[in-house]
Amino acid sequence: MIEPTIDNGVWGEVDNITKRPASSIATREIPTSPGIYVWFYRGEPVYVGQALGKQGLRGRLRSHLAKGPDLSRSTLRASVAVAQLGIDRATARRRPTVMESHDIEAVNSWLGACDLGWIECPTASEAHAKEVALRSDWLPPLNRI
């Protein structure tokens, strides 16, 4: 159970979403609707985000599921690099990348060990409101970096 739960039940809703191994998700399986997404490591939520653009969840999660050396397009991948490798955020987000291939592999491996779940929303404004509610009640560790 995620602690604490908020009065409007948003984290409770997250507790009940289908979680899948991130390493097994093909981007074509991800919906293009707006929504929120949550990354879980060892069953605990470590990152929450919103997808509002034209490609919705698919477009946003594509950048987080990427395996290439460029971490600048994914706040999550850069945050994993900071947390796991002890580098500063500017280095993680630098373009062109200054990251070594073994460092990129460490980020990809860590994310591959995560589960991922999402909640589709009928509108971008609803997705935004859900993410704001989640983050205002409890901020996952990788969102703090």
Query: What is the pTM for the complete model shown?
Result: 0.91
Q: What is the pLDDT of residue 107?
A: 97
- Report the top-level CATH class of 10-143: alpha beta
Q: How far apart are CA 11 and CA 26, in angstroms?
A: 26
The closest alpha carbon to 80, from 68, 91, 92, belongs to 92
Q: How far apart are CA 23 and CA 47, in angstroms?
A: 16
Q: What is the pLDDT of residue 53?
A: 87
Residue 76 burial by CB count (10 A; 0-12/13-18/19+): exposed, middle or buried?
A: buried
Q: What is the pLDDT of residue 52?
A: 94
Q: For residue 40, give every residue at least 6 positions away whose Cβ sits within 8 Å of its Cβ, in sequence order, or none.
A: 19, 46, 114, 115, 116, 117
Residue 100 burial by CB count (10 A; 0-12/13-18/19+): exposed, middle or buried?
A: exposed
**Cis link prior to 96 (omega < 30° from 0)?**
yes
> pLDDT (tens digit, 0 to 9) for every residue of the chain, 145 residues total?
444 444 446 788 898 899 999 999 999 999 999 999 999 999 999 999 999 988 999 999 999 999 999 999 999 999 999 999 999 999 999 998 899 999 999 999 999 999 999 999 999 999 999 999 999 989 999 999 8
Q: What is the pLDDT of residue 9?
A: 64
